[in-house]
Structures are given as structure tokens and as C-alpha cells.
Amino acid sequence: MSDFSEELIRPKTEDDQEESCLFSGTGMSFPWLQKHIGTVATGGKKEKDFAQTTNACLSFIQEALLKHQWQQAAEFMHSYFQILEDSDSHKRQAAPEIIWKLGSEILFYHPKSNVETFNTFADRMKNIGVLNYLKISLQHALYLLHHGMLEDANRNLSHAETWRYGEKSSSQEVLINLIQAYKGLLQYYTWSKKKMELSTLDEDDYAYNTASQNMLNHSWKTSVNLCALIQTPGVWDPFVKSYVEMLEFYGDQDGAREVLTNYAYDEKFPSNPNAHIYLYNFLKREKAPREKLISVLKILYQIVPSHKLMLEFHRLLRKSEKEDHHKLGLEVLFGVLDFAGCTKNITAWKYLAKYLRQTLMGNHLAWVQEEWNSRKNWWPGFHFSSFWAKGDWKEDKALACEKALVAGILLGKGCRYFRFISKQDDEVLRKKIKQIKKSVKKHSIVNPGL
Amino acid sequence: MDLEEAKEFKERCTQCAAVSWGLTDEGKYYCTSCHNVTERSKEVINTGAIPNTKIQAISRGLKRKRKLEKGWDWYVCEGFQQILYQQAEALKTLGVGPELKNEVLHNFWKRYLQKSKQAYCKNPVYTSGRKATVLEDNPSHSDWDSEPDLLSDFSCRSFVESGTDSQPDGCPQKPFPISKASQSETASICSGSLDGVEYSLRKEKGIVKMTVPRTLAFCYLSLLWQRETITLSDLLRFVEEGHIPYINAFQHFPEEMKLYGRDKGIFAIESWPAYEDIYKKIIEIAKFLDLPRFPDITEDCYLHPNILCMKYLMEVNLPDEMNDLTCQVVKMTGIGEVDFLTFDPIAKMAKTVKYDVQAVAVIVVVLKLLFLLDDNLEWTLSNIAEKYNEKNKEDKPWFDFRKWYQVMKRSVDEKKQKWEEARAKYLWKSEKPLYHSSIDRAVVYKRREMVVSLQKQFSTLVDSAPTVEKKSPSSFQFNWTEGDSARTCFHGHGLQGILKKKGQSMTTKNSLYWLSTQKFCRSYCKHVTTYEESNFSLSYQFIINLFSFLLRIKTSSLHEEVSLIEKRLFKTKYSKTKKKSRSRKGRKY
């Protein structure tokens, strides 16, 4: 359930961004808790015991939820409902949302709860206070989806889509878009199921035509539903992906490109690595020129230098004719290996070993030194300790060899990692180690004479 | 849509609380601000789809509403009388003698009505128009014994009224209430009682206005007069546990006593009674009623410190032998004297003793005398007692402070947790919701309905056996048994390890003492001392916390009471210690 609420927080306006900032980094967010603390702090008058009860009740519920004591949580919830009758209108108005969040969480997990209970609760909560109707409808639909009740979810979304509250509906446009988009996503699901069916049919078959006609209908409805949402700034990965898939299927490459370019480059959208990945994959499928692919990955490199596409990026750069691309290629490799998650990536080490030799042979010692200067303080401990040498040798001898070569080039013959590996006596690798020794002697950037 | 026609409909929108209605083509009301369509439309649909019926349906709706809001004519003081009556009945079921209700409380209340010029006097305060007040005309009004008569009298009148209401056009037989009703609808400030509005506006110097918390002051005064075995903290605890009607006491008013509008401010309570607050009200009321000196509190009374100390020693599982010491402290400080204990409202400085707090404070002082409570000596003495008990398993065991602490700590924490949970689960709102004005009515009732249905839904998720079972009233909160290691009973344990023989008498091994307050505040800020927890030893904090939880009072007020007892006990030393910075001093029996 928590995933649902996260998705709901995002599309909101600036006011909410502040709030989510507060919690970024903790990995957990209780926006309503913050609100709650706020109201407690401002109370100048002596708090009535009624408020004390509801506050205490809320913290008991939170505690129970954290400990997964659904039974207890439900017990306290029973008392917490009275906050809907609070004489303080601020609290009363904030209450439905809190109740919905707590209550749906409880009903999601409680052993005695079932879809019916959840439905009753959701329907009741939708009609308490105007502002929550859409949010609750959406989360209700997500709950139904989770339980595989696609049709009910779809019905729910259609219902929510048509709901209007006069002035209040305009402020919730994003939510309506989101609801429509989810509806679109459901339609996409049916479409892609149909697509699968279609692929099993013979083109000459009688059924083929009706089926493809059916698909076409679906895709049209879907695009209408998805379109509005992905114009609005936000992170809409699943929606964009399915939308693009449909566009591509019907041959609208330009439309797909436009959507993806907009999603990746529009400054109003939050920075999103996936947007660039989608665009890159699309362009790759389209066999776009290398230059273009490089420019897309350059941005991804700035956002996620450790992404697995970076090795592909390196290959592209290596193949490029431009000199600064070659330099960037080296940077990218070093960048990838800065991350603890990539330390055992043999491809990265292989590339680096190879590329270092290539660069040094090409008389670009300065490039290597530039990269190495900022890392020479910590890479030896991070990658090239004797602990790592032993471990790598034990686990993956090929990796150890590549690393030894890099270590030798960067740190010289005296480095522990290199020394450990070069001392190893392995029948299969004897030749390779000999080669490494030779390469190191030839290319090492550390001058042993000095 | 037709905004003109919709003007008749004045209830608040259940969604956005605005009063701005339009009519849809189907004749449904919809809110122009949030486009919510009301339930009223359902009624219209039910009565038939013909557009003309809608006006009839509306008028019927309005009439039905008026019928609900009109009940008997009643005055605010009658409401309080109802509450007092319920409380007195509840006290009777708790085992208090019937005289309390029939004689004492009845007389106090009569006296109150007289003093506040509401009845039993020549010119009652009721405003000119309603001079024909029910109070004087109805001889049985404030007579407790004839309460049933009072009720039957009321129901007679209600017959008459329901008769008028059943006539379709409702010819106004009673000019006052009807005109009042229409007036109230326009002004939207109204009340179900006849004088609710005036009552809440009335501010007369020298008159103590009745409030719901003051009903408890009345109850306590009667209990004190009767020298019953209920202390103030007991009374308030019974209120909290629901044995005495207090919160939502208006719920049990007769059906025809309608409450709304200003009555809400007068009768709705959203806090539990606090000890200090009620204590102040007790003195205030006693002075206002000009009550004579209360019956003497002598040594055989429950409220005498000797007996109360015994009771609290049992309650907190301390050895019976300590009672000798508490009696000595009581004697030395003179707090057992009749004149000191007896409440005399007409005395120059009217103040009543907080019997329960004082008794507990005496126990704290005795604990300090025995164990010093400096986070050191009590543990040393515990080691000695533990060794002795191990060696002499057959003998009467010596009191081991550490063991006692462990048992108490666990029990109190458990109890506190339960208490906090019960407080968090408390349902404040009455089944009969109160609303400010008639246009709020629908919203308030709808809200109530919502809460009830949500509660119903969630109660199916809860185990059928309720975790907070209703406790039967008891003046004891703990229960100690011999044998059960979690609830070990220390009542029979001896103090030999802590006392030593000196000539004929016994004296404490510990010869040191420290004062809880070295210097009393002499300014006019009302409190004599403050309690900053972190300045005191952990044992002292534990003891203070334990007892103040037991009495449901603030730790600071118990600390203050302890300081006051010490002030009496070390009177001579106090004048000397003014110069000394350290207040540790020797002390012997």
C-alpha cells in the first residue's frame, strides 16, 4: 500500500515538494504525521483530554502498524474514528485522509479483512469530505488490481473519472489525469494480451482481422487516456513505456520519439534516469547515428555514472572519431569503478585494462594522470589491497588478472595487488601473467627510476 | 435550477458545510459551492417523481425537524439537578448510604439554588417574561424524594405538547416556546433549555455559576459531610472508570429534555476532571454555600491519616510494620488533630485537607526516614536484607527494598500501560450528538452516523472478547498475593534490618535525612515549591511517580505535600537550615 501513496505524492504541486523533501533520505515518509505534529505545536490553549485521547490513539495505531499488530491497530482505530466529530474543524477536516491511510493499511493486512470489507470502507471514506474522493478511488482501484480484480478496478476508475465537484475538481486535475492514465494502463494490459493472442494466429485466419480490429480500438482509447498525464511534469515511467510501445507497434515512430524526447528533455519534468534510458533504447532500435546516442547517454552519465549502460557508452565513445570522446571514454570507466557495486564487474576491469594500454600507447599519459590524481588516495585501499587480491584470486582468477594489470599500470610493480597476483603459480594463467608483467613494465605510469 | 425555491432549505451541506442550495431539474437539492447533491433528494424521489410533491416533502421535512427539537420546557439548573441525581444514584450503588442523596446533597443543592437566587427565594433571577417559572409553581421541583413525581409531571405535559404537534397546522397553544423556536431559527443562536442562552451570558458578581465539574464538587462535599470512605482521588477515578456519570451525563436525561445550541457549551465535557481543579471548586462552592463546620474527622474516621496511611501502605505493598512509623510522623506533625482535619468553610482561611495526598506524603517521608532514598543507602540496606533472608529462610523475612522495587516497577508499568491504552480508547462522543444550531443538525447527525458505521465495521475485526473489560469499582487498584513471584506480597515482611534497638524503643539505623524543599517560595505565586524531577534521586522519583499515578495527581503536587509535611516535622531545624547550604541532618526517634 505504501507504494500507492508515494505515487500520489509526486504529481502534486510545489507545496507538497517541500514536505517530501523533509523526508528524503530517510526512506520513509509520513506526510500526515508531519501535519499532525504541526497542529500539536500550535495549540496555545490547554489541550482538551479529547485531543489527548485522539493523539495518544494515533501514536498507538502507528506503533501497532510498525509492529504489524493489525488486531491492536484495529482496536485503536475503533476509537480513533471519533476524531471525525472533533470540535476543532482543522483536525476534523484533516482526519478523513489520516483515517483512510491508517484504515486501508489495516484492512490490507488484517487476517479477518477481505475485499468486501475493504470495498465498504473505501466507499464510505470516499464520501467523507470532498477532497479525498479521487485519491481514495485511485487507491481503491490499486487495491483491486492487487487482488487481480481488473474489471472492478476499471469500473472504479471510470466512476472516479466522471466525478465532478464544481470548483474543487479543477484543483485536482492531475489526479483525474492520473486516474485516466491508470485506466489507460489497464487498457494497455488488455491490448498487450490481445497482441500475444494475435501473434499466435495466422494472418490468413478469419479471426485475425477481428482481433486486430479489436486491438486497434483499444489502443486508440488507451492513447487518449495516457496522453494527458504524460504532458504533465512528473515521473510516469510505466505509462510512458506502454504508450510508446503502442505507438511503435502502429508505426508512429515520430510520435513515439516526440513523447520520449519530451519526457527526457523537458525541464519542467523532474530529473529521471529512466527517461534517458527509454529514449536511448528507442533510438538504438531506430538505429540512430552514434553521435545522437552518445548525447543521450552523456546525460545519463551525469545522473547515474554507475549505470550498466555506461559500459555501452564507453564502447560508443571508443568507436567515435573525436578525441574528446576518447578522453570521456576513460573518464566513464573510472567513474563506473568508483562505485562499490561495480568493483567485481569484470567487463569494466577488462575495458579499463585494455583502454589504459591503448590510451598510454596513444601518448595520452596526461588523461590517465588526471583521472588517477583524484583517486590515488583511495583506490589502492578500495580496490587494490592484498585482502582484495586474495579474495579476487580465490573467487575469479580472470578478474584478478585484469585488476592486477590495472594496478600495475597505475601503481607500479611494487603494488601489493600486482605483486600477489604475479607471484601466483597457475598453470593455465602462467602465460597471461607473464603478459601482464610485460605490459606493466612497458606501460606503468609510475617511473621506477624515480 | 431554481435558487429561489431552494432558499427554504437551510441545512448545512454535509460535504463543505456551506448553506447555498440550488435545485436540479429533478428537484434535488445540490450545493452550489461543491455540487454535492443532498440526501433530501431521496425523500423527494421516494414520495414520487411528480415535481409538485417536492414542496410538500420539504415542508414535511421541516415540520418533522421542529417536532424533534421541541421537548419539554426545562431550565439549565434542572439539567444540573438531573446530573447530580444520577451521580447520587451512582454513589448509592457504590455503597454510600442513602442519606447522602436524600438529605445532604439535596440540602446542599437547595442551598445553592437559594444562594444563587434561582429558587427558594422571593425574587428568583429568571427574567421578567418567564416569571411564571416552573421552579416556584412546581412544588415538587427540587424535592429529591419526589423525583418520580417530577418526572410524571413532565410526561403529562409532554402529552399535551405532542397533542398539539399532531395537528397538521400546529395551532399555537403555548405562545412562549413557539415564538422562541421561530426566533431561534432566525437568530441561529438557541438552546434546547429555556434559559440556555441567558445562562451562558449571565455574569453576576458573587455568584458561583453551576458547571459540570462543579457537580463533582457537590458530590465530594456531601461525601465529606457524611465522612464516607471515598477520597477525592477515588471519586475522580470512579468518574474516569465510568462508575459515576460525568462525561456525557446529559445522555441520560429524559428523552424529552432536548439539548442543543448553547446547551452544548454548558453540558458537553471534553476533559476528565483534574484533582487540583476540583479541589479548588470544592472550597469555592463550600464558601459560596456558606456551609458550617463539617462533622469532625476523628481517629476512627476513614479520612484520618492513620487509617489512610494504612490503606495506602497496603495498596503499594509495603510492610504493615511501617504503620507505626507513619502514626508517629502524623503525631509529631500534628496533622492528625481534629481541628486540623475538619473542614470549616467559614473559617478565615478556608481550606480542606487533601486527605489522600497527605497520607501518601506521610508514607514518602517515612520511606525517606528509613531508606534515605539517595540512590545508595536503600541498596546497601537491601543487600543486607537479601543476605539475611537467604540465611534465614524460615524466619519472617526482612523487607528488601530492591525486591519491592522490582515487583512494584513491573506492576506499575503494566498498570500505566493499560491505563494509557484505556485512555486512548476512550469514546468521548455521546450517542446523542449536540449541535450548535438547527442548520448544523443534519451535518452533526450525519457525522455521528458515519462514525458509528465505521466503528461497527472495525469492531468486526477486533476479537470478540473486549480487552478493556469494565472494572468493578474498588478503592484498591492493586492486588498482592503471597506465593506469586510477580505479585509478591510484602505486607508481612519485617523492618528489623532497618531499625535498631535503643533502650526501650526502636530507632532507624539511618541517621541522615534530606529535605525535599530547602527553601519555600514566599511570594504570592500560590505554589510553595517546584518539582524539577532531574534534581532528585532516582528512587525518590520512582516513589513520587508511583504515588502520583495511584492518585492520578501531578508529581509536583505530591512533592509539595511532602515538603509541607517535612516543614512541620522539622520546624525547628528549618529556621536553622536557612543559613546552612546543605540540608542533610541527623534525626532520631
pLDDT tens sequence across B453-489: 999 888 888 876 555 556 778 888 888 876 666 778 8
Interchain proximity B429–A82, CB inside 8 Å: yes
Kindly give, in sequence order, each residue whose CB lies less than 8 Å from that of residue B464, ignoring residues fewer than 6 positions away: none
Q: Which carries the bigger pLDDT value, residue B123 or residue A414? A: A414
Q: HSE (CB half, 13 Å, CA atoms) of A422?
A: 21
Quote the cell numbers at residue B540.
Answer: 525518590
Q: What is the mean pLDDT of residues B356-363?
A: 95
Interchain proximity B461–A164, CB inside 8 Å: no
pLDDT for position A161: 82
Chain A interface mutation, best of B31, B428, B449, highest count of A Cβ atoms under 10 Å: B428
**pLDDT tier at B310, thresholds 50, 70, 90:** very high
Quote the cell numbers at residue A334.
Answer: 573510472
Q: B248: phi > 0 → left, psi -120 to 50 → alpha, else beta; which?
A: left
Quote the cell numbers at residue B570.
Answer: 522539622
pLDDT for position B465: 57
Q: Which carries the bigger pLDDT value, residue B61 or residue A444? A: A444
Query: Does the pLDDT of residue B37 top 90, yes or no?
Result: no
Q: What is the mean pLDDT of residues A433-438?
A: 84
Region of poorest pLDDT, from A366-375, B143-152, B232-241, B413-422: B143-152
| Cβ-contact B113, B119 below 8 angstroms | yes
Q: What is the 3-state secondary structure (H, E, C) of B339-400?
A: HHHCCCCCCCCCCCCCHHHHHHHHHHHHHHHHHCCCCCHHHHHHHHHHHHHHHCCCCCCECC
Quote the cell numbers at residue B84.
Answer: 447530580
| Cβ-contact A137, A164 below 8 angstroms | no
Of B184, B199, B185, B178, which is closest to residue B79 (Cα–Cα)? B199
Cell numbers 482526519 label which residue?
A: A95
Quote the cell numbers at residue B353.
Answer: 485537607
**pLDDT tier at B128, thresholds 50, 70, 90:** very low
pLDDT for position B402: 93
Interchain proximity A74–B461, CB inside 8 Å: yes
Quote the cell numbers at residue A189.
Answer: 494490459
A 10 A CB-CB count for B566 gives 25
Interchain proximity B461–A106, CB inside 8 Å: yes
| Spatial distance between the Cα atoms of A133 and A263, rounded to a whole number of angstroms | 29
Q: How far is B247 from chain A (nearest CA, A)?
A: 11
Region of poorest pLDDT, from B351-365, B524-538, B550-564: B524-538
**pLDDT tier at B172, thresholds 50, 70, 90:** very low
Q: How far is A78 from chain B (nearest CA, A)?
A: 5
Radius of gyration of chain A (CA): 29
Residues forming CATH 2.20.25 domain(s) in chain B = 1-40
| Cβ-contact A333, A352 below 8 angstroms | yes
pLDDT tens per residue, range B258-280: 888 888 888 988 899 999 999 99
Residues of chain B above pLDDT 90, percent? 36
| Spatial distance between the Cα atoms of B145 and B311, rounded to a whole number of angstroms | 35
Rounded (10°) CA dihedral B428, B433, B439, B443: 70
- Burial (CB < 10 A; 0-12, 13-18, 19+), residue B167, is exposed
Residues in chain A: 450
Q: Using a CB-CB distance cutoff of 8 angstroms, which residues of chain A are in contact with residue B467? A: 75
Query: Does the pLDDT of residue A14 top 80, yes or no?
Result: no
Q: Using a CB-CB distance cutoff of 8 angstroms, which residues of chain B are in contact with residue A103? A: 454, 458
Region of poorest pLDDT, from A27-41, A267-281, B118-132, B322-336: A27-41
Of B264, B284, B148, B262, which is closest to residue B216 (Cα–Cα)? B284
Kindly give, in sequence order, each residue whose CB lies less than 8 Å from that of residue B112, ignoring residues fewer than 6 positions away: B210, B218, B285, B288, B289
**pLDDT tier at B406, thresholds 50, 70, 90:** very high
> Would you report the helix, strand and coil content of chain B in percent, each value rounded to 5?
50, 5, 45
Query: Does the pLDDT of residue B169 top 90, yes or no?
Result: no
Q: How far is B489 from chain A (nearest CA, A)?
A: 32
Query: Does the pLDDT of residue B39 top 60, yes or no?
Result: no
pLDDT for position B404: 94
Q: Which of B424, B448, B460 sits opposite A57 (nearest CB)?
A: B424
**pLDDT tier at B170, thresholds 50, 70, 90:** very low
Q: Which carries the bigger pLDDT value, residue B255 or residue B191? A: B255
Interchain proximity B425–A128, CB inside 8 Å: no
Chain B interface mutation, best of A77, A91, A110, highest count of B Cβ atoms under 10 Å: A77
Kindly give, in sequence order, each residue whose CB lies less than 8 Å from that of residue B126, ignoring residues fewer than 6 positions away: B75, B118, B133, B135, B195
Residues of chain A above pLDDT 70, percent? 84
pLDDT for position A320: 86
Cell numbers 419526589 label which residue?
A: B146
Q: What is the mean pLDDT of residues B392-416?
A: 91
Q: What DSSP character marks residue A149?
A: -
Q: What is the mean pLDDT of residues A53-61?
A: 93
A116 touches chain B (CB under 8 A): no
Q: How far is A88 from chain B (nearest CA, A)?
A: 12
Q: What is the mean pLDDT of residues B531-542?
A: 91
| Cβ-contact B267, B75 below 8 angstroms | no
Amino acid at A32: W
| E strand intervals along B424-543 | 499-502, 505-508
| Spatial distance between the Cα atoms of B341 and B227, rounded to a whole number of angstroms | 12
Identify any residues that bridge with B499 across adjacent strands, giving them in sequence order.
B508
A 10 A CB-CB count for B215 gives 26
| Spatial distance between the Cα atoms of A402 and A439, rounded to a whole number of angstroms | 12
Rounded (10°) CA dihedral A362, A365, A367, A369: 160
**pLDDT tier at B40, thresholds 50, 70, 90:** low
Interchain proximity A71–B461, CB inside 8 Å: yes
Quote the cell numbers at residue A279.
Answer: 529514449
Chain B interface mutation, best of A128, A162, A170, highest count of B Cβ atoms under 10 Å: A128
Interchain proximity A82–B460, CB inside 8 Å: no
Q: Using a CB-CB distance cutoff of 8 angstroms, which residues of chain A are in contact with residue B457? A: 117, 120-121, 124
| Cβ-contact A404, A418 below 8 angstroms | yes
**pLDDT tier at A341, thresholds 50, 70, 90:** confident
| Spatial distance between the Cα atoms of B318 and B492, rounded to a whole number of angstroms | 9
Q: Using a CB-CB distance cutoff of 8 angstroms, which residues of chain A are in contact with residue B447? A: 84-85
The helix (run of H) or strand (run of E) holding residue B10 is none
Quote the cell numbers at residue A93.
Answer: 477536516
**pLDDT tier at B444, thresholds 50, 70, 90:** confident
Region of poorest pLDDT, from A141-145, A208-212, B326-330: A208-212
Task: For residue B501, report the phi and psi dihedrals to the nearest 5 degrees.
Answer: -80, 135
Q: Which carries the bigger pLDDT value, residue B347 or residue A140? A: A140
Q: Which CATH class is domain B1-40?
A: mainly beta
Our CA angle for B114, B89, B476, nearest 5°, is 120
Q: Which carries the bigger pLDDT value, residue A93 or residue B543? A: B543
pLDDT tens per residue, range B415-432: 999 999 999 999 888 888
Kindly give, in sequence order, each residue whose CB lies less than 8 Å from that of residue A234, ignoring residues fewer than 6 positions away: A10, A11, A174, A269, A270
> Would you report the helix, strand and coil content of chain A in percent, each value rounded to 5?
75, 0, 25
Task: For residue A390, report the phi and psi dihedrals to the nearest 5 degrees.
Answer: -60, -45
Q: What is the mean pLDDT of residues B229-244?
A: 93
Report helix, strand or coil for A103.
helix
B interface with A, Cβ–Cβ below 8 Å: 15-16, 32-36, 270-272, 420-421, 423-429, 433, 444, 447-448, 450-451, 453-455, 457-463, 467
Query: Does the pLDDT of residue A212 top 90, yes or no?
Result: no
Nearest CA in chain B to A87: B270
The helix (run of H) or strand (run of E) holding residue B21 is strand B21-23
Kindly give, in sequence order, each residue whose CB lies less than 8 Å from that of residue A19, ignoring residues fewer than 6 positions away: A9, A31, A34
**pLDDT tier at B52, thresholds 50, 70, 90:** very low
A57 touches chain B (CB under 8 A): yes
A 10 A CB-CB count for A192 gives 17
Angle (deg, nearest 10), helices B355-371 and B322-333: 110
- Burial (CB < 10 A; 0-12, 13-18, 19+), residue A222, is buried
Chain B interface mutation, best of A47, A48, A50, A60, highest count of B Cβ atoms under 10 Å: A50
Q: What is the mean pLDDT of residues A369-377?
A: 88
Q: Which carries the bigger pLDDT value, residue B185 or residue A299? A: A299
The greatest distance separating any two alpha carbons of chain A, rounded to the nearest whole angstrom, comes to: 85
Quote the cell numbers at residue A163.
Answer: 466525478
Give the CA distances from residue B354 to residues A151, B8, B287, in Å, rounded to whole numbers and listed in that order.
69, 58, 17
Interchain proximity B450–A60, CB inside 8 Å: no
Interchain proximity A128–B427, CB inside 8 Å: no
Q: What is the mean pLDDT of residues B48-65?
A: 41
pLDDT for position B174: 33
Q: HSE (CB half, 13 Å, CA atoms) of B530?
A: 7
Q: What is the mean pLDDT of residues A75-85?
A: 91
Region of poorest pLDDT, from A116-130, A362-376, B267-281, B518-532: B518-532
Chain A interface mutation, best of B38, B246, B461, highest count of A Cβ atoms under 10 Å: B461
Q: Which carries the bigger pLDDT value, residue A219 or residue B445? A: B445
Identify any residues that bridge with B261 across adjacent strands, giving them in sequence order.
B191
Query: Does the pLDDT of residue A25 top 70, yes or no?
Result: no
Q: What DSSP character marks residue A110?
A: -
Listed in sequence order, the DSSP H helices in A127-236 are 133-146, 150-161, 167-170, 173-200, 206-231
Cell numbers 395537528 label which residue?
A: B167
Quote the cell numbers at residue B400.
Answer: 528488601
Q: What is the mean pLDDT of residues B573-578?
A: 62
Query: Does the pLDDT of residue B45 top 70, yes or no?
Result: no
Nearest CA in chain B to A118: B457
CA A376 and chain centroid, separation: 32
A408 touches chain B (CB under 8 A): no
Please state, rounded to an integer, the average pLDDT across all residues of chain B: 77
Quote the cell numbers at residue B459.
Answer: 469492531
Q: Which of B15, B427, B457 sits opposite A121 (nearest CB)?
A: B457
**pLDDT tier at B551, thresholds 50, 70, 90:** very high
Interchain proximity A81–B423, CB inside 8 Å: no
Most confident segment among A414-418, B131-135, B376-380, B572-576? B376-380
Region of poorest pLDDT, from A14-23, A272-281, B309-318: A14-23
| Spatial distance between the Cα atoms of A363 and A358, rounded to a whole number of angstroms | 9
